[in-house]
Amino acid sequence: MTSDTLYAQALEQLVDFNFDEKVANVFPDMIQRSVPGYASIVAMTGILAAEFYQKDSYCYDLGCSLGAASLSMARAIEDETLHIIAVDNSSAMLEKAQHLLLLSKRATKRATKRIPDVPENENAHYNESVIELICDDINDIKISNASVVVMNFTLQFIAPEQRAKLLQNIYQGMKKDGILILSEKLNYNDKSQQQLLIDMHHFFKKANGYSQLEISQKRQTLENVLIPETLEQHKERLNRAGFKQVEQWFQCFNFSSFIAIK
């Protein structure tokens, strides 16, 4: 796995974070060392998807990056006709995702040695051809006939004023009893609570080898790009979109995941 050293040196100019080739190249290392509970959320995504998947429906992975959640679902759902639609608007991410899926496909066939950068357990059996990668803005795609929609750490990058419409669009395209798995970084209205949760997240990053400089530069580049909301805002918006049950099923520091059932 290529190490994330993108912010290790003092940068003269800090530009807004974007999912370019440099980020795509180090993404597996970056996300594991930056998002507490990431591996658990990816693994549970497969477990939940397998239970709520409905035959002859689609699964969506919105903001799929390198396809970790799609792979988790593909491995967990046993259905010959499974079709996962994985969408991201970063061509750099999707190129890399395509490459990893091909490696994974060969590894599945040979089931031999591990390949660097391919998510854990990729050697497990699955029909990889079920994952369709689409390069598009998730605000512009039509969701249809979906029993499982996954949006792991993507909504936070969507302009706040577009979020309700996106969730309504997802809801409209879902089947009854289908699920949305929504994972997000959280914000807190209470100042001391917010500070403590941010501190704990930084302890996590420090323990994973990021320096103060790396943590601070990355934080500044994300400031205008990643806009977290409170747990209450998420729950309220999901309820308003029409979901009949909304539960927070995971939290580690200020990172959380929800399940919303139509």
Residue nearer to ligand GEK on the CB measure, 155 or 241: 155
Q: How far from chain centre, in Å, is Cα 143?
A: 17
Find the binding residues for ligand GEK in span 164-183 (CB under 6 A). none
Query: Which residue, chain included where needed, has tokens 């601070």?
Result: 216
Residue 259 backbone dihedrals phi, psi, to 5 degrees: -120, 135
Find the binding residues for ligand GEK in span 103-162 (CB under 6 A). 137-139, 152-154, 157-158
Determine contact, residues 241/225, Cβ cutoff 8 Å.
no
Question: SS3 breakdown of the chain: % helix, strand, coil, rounded to 5?
Answer: 45, 20, 35
Determine contact, residues 218/7, Cβ cutoff 8 Å.
yes
Residue nearer to ligand GEK on the CB measure, 93 or 246: 93
Told to check if 63 binds ligand GEK by CB under 6 A, we report: yes
Residue nearer to ligand GEK on the CB measure, 31 or 149: 31
Told to check if 68 binds ligand GEK by CB under 6 A, we report: yes
Query: Which residue, chain included where needed, has tokens 């979109």?
Result: 241
Least Cβ distance, residue 220 to ligand GEK (angstroms):
16
How many chain residues bind ligand GEK (CB under 6 A)?
Answer: 21
**CA separation (Å) from 56 to 52, 129, 171, 236?**
12, 16, 18, 31
Residue 84 backbone dihedrals phi, psi, to 5 degrees: -110, 130
Beta bridge partners of 134: 87
- Considering only residues 57, 65, 217, 254, which one is a binding residue for ligand GEK as defined by CB under 6 A? 65
Binding mask 20-59 for ligand GEK (x = CB under 6 A): -----------x----------x-----------------
Least Cβ distance, residue 124 to ligand GEK (angstroms):
18
Question: What residues line the site for ligand GEK (CB under 6 A)?
Answer: 19, 31, 42, 63-65, 68-69, 87-90, 93, 137-139, 152-154, 157-158
